């Protein structure tokens, strides 16, 4: 049985400082070759990226400038951190929010390879508002909650098409820093363009829930239930649906009837729970947010790590993942299996580019 490990860190830092800088120094050597290999150097220039933040998310401009300074002030780092028109990135995930009038929960499964997650839970007050959540791209959020109880999570929308917009994790960070309610969050998601198709679920302390489908380049479509997996309702064909089982997971969520406090238990069972880690599609964690209590329960394979906005505890967990009976995905003729990206030697990619031997990232895939 194949085993893989991922280290999770819980870090609290009210304003960007030495703790964030240490994380940057740890993670950037892996992110930089990815950014280069996926064409990041051919994207918008530094001034354009900063102007995009100023135009669409001005409340984050001071934080962004501070992070760029902590990252050394380099041109590539500045463009990477802006996430304006970034390279493509994919993922999995199942999401749901349930409210019964007195209680509410938002729960998500994060499905990917352990090699491709930062494992960082961050507690901040960067703009004066306290925010707690799971980090991607070193300051964005894949899911989170703020001190008003607004909670949010994302899922890949199943299309590789791109448009002019921000990386979705930065948009989620912006929502957490500026919004109190579901309605305010929906207004931001309507206004700020995403560069790829993503599905977003939100819930607030008043018991309101919602789900939207974001289109590449802008646009948000309201959905009838606060659930999401990895396809959209616009008639587009989802990326590798038989591999991700997105339709099976969505059908299960549509018929799920459970109390808010029991919702996270449903996510630790099939068909929502995934164990194909070596194929790049396993459930790394289940995050359950309670908007009223301002808490996050991060369920890992062997324990649940409980955190509170008011009593956040720094710490570390080293998690071992064991793949189950791996089922090979059915790949349409002529299309690469992008799940193979989990087995890329990213250090070798970086060394090749540093030595002037850069080649298309597809050539590193094992197919």
Give the CATH superfamily of 94-321. Answer: Penicillin V Acylase; Chain A (3.60.60.10)
DSSP 349: H
Instruction: Please work out, in degrees rounded to the nearest 5, the angle formed at the alpha carbon of residue 276 by the alpha carbons of 275 and 277.
Output: 95
Q: State how far the Cα of 170 lies from the Cα of 177, in Å rounded to an integer.
A: 11
**What is the torsional sign of CA 115, 364, 165, 50?**
positive
pTM of the model: 0.88
Average pLDDT in the 148-168 region?
Answer: 96
Average pLDDT in the 180-189 region?
Answer: 98
Question: What pLDDT digit, counting tens, does each position of 261-271 carry?
Answer: 999 999 999 99
Please name the helix (run of DSSP H) or strand (run of DSSP E) that holds residue 95, with its range, or none. Answer: strand 94-99
What pLDDT score was predicted for residue 1?
Answer: 61
Show the tokens assigned to 312: 């956040």
Confidence of residue 364 (pLDDT cuts 50, 70, 90): very low
Q: What is the DSSP string of 23-89?
A: HHHHHHHHHHHHHHHTTGGGS--HHHHHHHHHHH-GGGHHHHHHHHHHTTS-HHHHHHHHTBS----
Average pLDDT in the 120-136 region?
Answer: 97
Q: Give Cα 224 distance to the centre of its chain.
A: 23
What pLDDT score was predicted for residue 64?
Answer: 98
Please name the helix (run of DSSP H) or strand (run of DSSP E) that holds residue 326, with its range, or none. Answer: none
Q: State how far the Cα of 127 lies from the Cα of 330, in Å rounded to an integer.
A: 46
Q: At what angle do helices 46-56 and 61-70 cross, to 10 degrees?
A: 150
Instruction: Please work out, in degrees rounded to the nearest 5, the angle formed at the alpha carbon of residue 225 by the alpha carbons of 223 and 226.
Output: 95
Q: State how far the Cα of 349 lies from the Cα of 336, in Å rounded to an integer.
A: 18
**Residue that is written with structure tokens 């194909």 in the block:** 276
Of the candidates 329, 343, 53, which has an alpha carbon nearest to the alpha carbon of residue 177? 53
Q: 25-28 contacts: CB < 8 A, separation 24 or more?
A: 27/118, 27/138, 28/71, 28/77, 28/138
Q: State how far the Cα of 315 lies from the Cα of 207, in Å rounded to an integer.
A: 31
Question: What pLDDT digit, counting tens, does each position of 197-243 carry?
Answer: 999 999 999 999 999 999 999 999 999 999 999 999 998 988 889 88
Of the candidates 93, 95, 76, 7, which has an alpha carbon nearest to the alpha carbon of residue 38? 76
What pLDDT score was predicted for residue 356?
Answer: 41
Asked if residue 264 lies in contact with residue 85, where contact means CB atoms within 8 angstroms, the answer is no
Average pLDDT in the 345-366 region?
Answer: 43
**Percent of the chain, pLDDT > 90?**
80
């Amino acid at each position: 049985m194949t085993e893989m490990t991922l280290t999770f860190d819980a870090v609290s830092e009210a304003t960007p400082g030495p703790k964030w800088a240490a994380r940057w120094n740890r993670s950037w050597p892996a992110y930089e070759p990815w950014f280069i290999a996926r064409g990041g150097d051919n994207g918008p220039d530094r001034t354009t990226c900063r102007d995009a933040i100023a135009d669409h998310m001005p409340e984050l401009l001071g934080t962004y400038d501070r992070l760029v300074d902590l990252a050394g002030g380099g041109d590539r780092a500045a463009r990477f951190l802006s996430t304006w028109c970034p390279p493509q990135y994919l993922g999995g995930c199942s999401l749901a929010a349930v409210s019964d009038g007195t209680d509410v929960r938002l729960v998500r499964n994060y499905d990917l390879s352990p090699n491709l997650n930062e494992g960082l839970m961050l507690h901040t007050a960067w703009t004066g508002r306290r925010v707690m959540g799971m980090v991607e791209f070193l300051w964005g959020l894949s899911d989170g909650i703020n001190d008003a109880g607004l909670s949010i999570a994302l899922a890949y929308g199943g299309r590789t098409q791109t448009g002019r917009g921000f990386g979705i994790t930065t948009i989620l960070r912006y929502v957490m820093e500026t919004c109190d309610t579901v309605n305010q969050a929906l207004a931001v998601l309507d206004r700020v363009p995403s560069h790829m198709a993503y599905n977003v679920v939100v819930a607030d302390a008043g018991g309101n829930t919602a789900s939207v489908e974001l289109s590449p380049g802008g646009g948000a479509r309201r959905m009838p239930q606060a659930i999401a997996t990895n396809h959209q309702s616009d008639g587009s064909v989802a990326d590798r649906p038989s591999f991700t089982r997105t339709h099976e997971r969505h059908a299960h969520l549509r018929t799920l009837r459970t109390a808010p406090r029991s919702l996270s238990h449903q996510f630790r069972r099939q068909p929502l729970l995934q164990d194909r880690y070596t194929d790049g599609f396993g459930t790394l964690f289940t995050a359950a947010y309670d908007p009223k209590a301002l808490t996050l329960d991060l369920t890992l394979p062997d324990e649940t790590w409980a955190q509170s906005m008011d009593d956040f505890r720094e710490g570390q967990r080293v998690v071992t993942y064991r793949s189950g009976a791996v089922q090979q995905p059915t790949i349409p003729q002529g299309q690469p299996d992008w799940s193979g990206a989990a087995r890329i030697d990213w250090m070798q990619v970086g060394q090749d580019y540093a030595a002037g031997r850069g080649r298309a990232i597809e050539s590193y895939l094992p197919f």
